[in-house]
Chains A and B, each alone.
Chain A
Amino acid sequence: MSGTPRRRLLAVAAAAALLVPLAACGDDAGSSPSADSTEPVELSFFWWGGDARAKLTEDALKLYTAKHPNVTFKTTWQANQGYFDKLATLTAGNAAPDIFQIDDNYLTEYASRNVTLDLSSYQKSGKLDTSKFPESLWKYGEVDGKLAGVAFGENTQGLVFNKTKLQAANQPLPTSGMSWEQFITWAQAAGAATKTAGTQDPSADYKAFWVWLRQQGKDLYKGKELGFTAQDVTAWFDLWKGARDKGATPPPDVIREGNATDITKQLVVTGKALTSWVWVNQLPELQKNTKDELGVVSYPGDPKAQWARASMYFSVYRGSSKKDVAVDVINFLANDPEAGKVLGTDRGLPSNLDVRTTVESAVTDKAMKTSIDVENQLGKTFGPSPQVPLKGHSTLRSELIKAAESVQTGKASSAQAAEAFITAVKTAISK
């Protein structure tokens, strides 16, 4: 969109001040080497994660290079903190990597601004094969009818609990399908018996709120709007106010510790609560950080409200000059059985169901086995995926934390906080 000539002129002036060549964003122009050409190609590839993931990914890419000796990779990885800052900066400089990892927090931000390549045509022509993916999973990569990312790994919400402490106090373990009220009552009793708070208060947790909303027949987003009202938020906050009043949760400052998404701060790991609200595939990492044995069930309420969430995606940069090869690499990583074996469940359960079966049978880690079993069992009842979160989703997440914490600390009533939350979020998603 170039607007009026005057506007265009101003844009040129701004770009000149920044020394940017305009319209550098290489459009879907065609000098790109095709996937089966033999001229040397170097693809840049960027993801977040730890060193273990880096090792696996490098090994899987080596398999690709072994099959296509002309294709090599320039890989970059880092921890999640700062990842999106760097990716955005690279994008601004027209220097985004050919392939990058992204999650549902940011997919719409990037897709709606045309940073990601629309992969639909590759999918139609079969160059990108998603036929073995659960349909709801690959669809969770669609933004405004364009396939913006290839779901790479599946996960779903999981309520992780401290088995050791519960059993030591002769308390029943939580089960999938408990109602929210039953769960809170359970947490109150279990907390009293173990002298550890029964559950982290998830009122600040968007994924718990989201599941709860879906159980009320609502959703987080509907089209370009919010799928809920201030009343829903108030009811959600009140539900947990009740739980706090009963002593089923820790005090507000401890709740806040667990409101960080970091594995290192989850109360079930730091020993400050019996349950934490996480993603099922985080169980193995959580388990490594505590002596106590952990278990996992679905969030309370009807488990049908949970869905096959793409834990992350691979996207291709629309300005890349090697799009075809980039898509072929993603296709290989997602569908090749050998590559699948190498990558394992590190990014979530493999999207390709055939690959998933092979990988699962090879798993030996106990916590990983548990998380796979639970995911598969919940998978049988998964409802349809919601739409991918809108632009402004990260604002929604941080505003929910702020609103919930202001209720927890008594700075605002549930209704006041809900009102402020709705106002802030509406502004964010309409920008």
Chain B
Amino acid sequence: MALTTTQRPARHSVRVPQGSGRGVRREGRAGYVFLSPWLLGFGAFTLLPMLGSLVLSFTDYDILSDFSELHFIGLDNYRRMFTADPAFWHSVTVTVLFGIISVPLKLAAAFAVALLLNRGMRGVGFFRGLFYLPSLLGGSVALGFVWYSMFNRDGSFNQLLGLFGVHGPGWVNDPDWALGTLILLAVWQFGAPMVIFLAGLKQVPVELYEAASVDGAGAWRKFWSVTMPMMSPVIFFNLVLETIHGFQGFTGAFVISGGTGGPVDSTLMYTLYLYVKAFTDYEMGYASALAWVFLAAIGLLTVVLFSTGRFWVHYSDGGDE
């Protein structure tokens, strides 16, 4: 990434030599002080439940039985998943398909709309609110009704297609199309990354654009040499979080399929399968194993994303050593 200094004045950061032992120690102490709420919260509320679920993944825990009836079954849950459970592999396929299509589409929609709404214009705040409205609905009970009525056989979407002489199928109820409506739902609720992009755009120092104008850069050039590098930490954040969120994608599938993953398992997202195992089939031990395999897989993906980040994410703080 060869960028000229005019476009990246922040890169000039003066590094104060960090040799002074007292300063480092003071900063270290301050680090723990600032981190203490997180350390306490993690230790008290996150670590134990996580370890609990890890331990349970080696058992036949079924939620309802007393803990004294717990049996340790070693790696059986993990073995079963990879060797004897076709539904597991099916849910992996569904999830990967959903993730790789919905995440880029959602991010693209969010970024495009954020750019559209970044400029000052009358009522821009209200417009932002309107674009956010679908996300405000969350996984509300009304959403299930809404999506059903849009995308069933007599739904609004087919009425629209009808105007062009197209006979649409019963989208949400058709095993070939249901996942598509799920992806559409995910993209439709692009509000969260949009807001993060907007906040990021607000943080790009206007001086950089002024400097670029002085250098005679046009809008396109400014976008690529100022906006994109300055936005890269925020783009990176959205990419990582939406990837995690996309692969977890539970709510939409739950709402659309009534918690079953139907029709014919076409919307059986991984986390939905996990939920069914845990709370419908009472196989919490197995569900815990599913969760830890998920953590490992998405963890790996996150590590890959982080390692690509060093090639394209530009930090004004001079980078992390």
Contacts and interface: CB of A to CB of B under 8 A. Distances in A.
B partners with A: yes
Interface of A: 1-3, 7, 10-11, 13-15, 17-20, 22-25, 81, 84-85, 88-89, 91-92, 109-110, 113-115, 251-254, 256-257, 259-260, 262, 264, 392, 394-395, 398, 401-402, 405-406, 409, 411, 428, 431
Contacts of B152: 253-254, 257
Given A22-B67, A23-B66, A113-B64, 15 more contacts: A7-B72, A11-B70, A11-B72, A14-B59, A17-B55, A18-B48, A18-B67, A88-B279, A253-B153, A254-B153, A254-B170, A254-B173, A257-B148, A405-B175, A409-B174
A114 B66 contact: yes
B48 A19 contact: yes
Nearest to B286: A431
B242 interface: no
A260 to B, nearest CB: 5
Contact of B174 (A3, A17, A253): A253
A251 B260 contact: no
Contacts of B63: 88-89, 91-92
A394 B264 contact: no
A253 B281 contact: no
Shortest Cβ-Cβ A-B pairs, 4 listed:
A253-B170, A253-B173, A256-B173, A113-B64
Contacts of A3: 71
Contacts of A110: 64
Nearest to A87: B64
A406 B68 CA distance: 41
B185 interface: no
A334 B298 CA distance: 53
Given A13-B55, A256-B263, A91 B64 contact: yes
7 contacts: A11-B68, A15-B67, A85-B279, A88-B279, A253-B174, A392-B281, A402-B260
Nearest to A401: B262
B71 A14 contact: no
Interface string B162-205: 00000001100111000000000000000000000000000000
A18 B174 CA distance: 43
Interface majority SS (helix, strand, loop, mixed), chain B: loop
B17 to A, nearest CB: 46
Contact of B67 (A11, A251, A260): A11
Given A254-B153, A257-B152, A25 B66 contact: yes
A320 to B, nearest CB: 14
A251 B153 contact: yes
Contacts of A253: 152-153, 169-170, 173-174, 263
A116 B68 CA distance: 17
Nearest to B66: A25
Contacts of A113: 62, 64-65
A411 B264 contact: yes
Interface of B: 48, 51-52, 55-56, 59, 61-72, 145, 148, 152-153, 169-170, 173-175, 258-260, 262-265, 276, 279-283
B52 A256 contact: no
Contacts of B153: 251, 253-254
A90 to B, nearest CB: 10
B260 A409 contact: no
B263 A405 contact: yes
Contacts of A22: 66-68
Contacts of B265: 402
Contact of B281 (A19, A114, A264, A395): A395
B166 to A, nearest CB: 16
A14 B70 contact: yes
A231 B282 CA distance: 29
A18 B52 contact: yes
Contacts of A88: 63-64, 279, 282
A10 B64 contact: no
A206 to B, nearest CB: 13
B56 to A, nearest CB: 7
Give the interface centre of B61, B65, B68, B260 by most chain A CB atoms within 10 Å. Answer: B68
Contact of B264 (A10, A23, A402): A402
Contacts of B61: 14
A224 B300 CA distance: 43
Contacts of A89: 63
Contacts of B263: 253, 256, 405, 409
A405 B262 contact: yes
A91 B145 CA distance: 32
B258 A260 contact: yes
Given A14-B55, A402-B265, A405-B263, A428 B281 contact: yes
Contacts of B70: 10-11, 14-15
A405 B264 contact: yes
Given A251-B153, A392-B281, A411 B67 contact: no
A251 B279 contact: no
A422 B51 CA distance: 36
Contacts of A428: 281
Contacts of A7: 71-72
A109 B169 contact: no
Contacts of B71: 3, 7
Contacts of B276: 398
Nearest to B265: A402
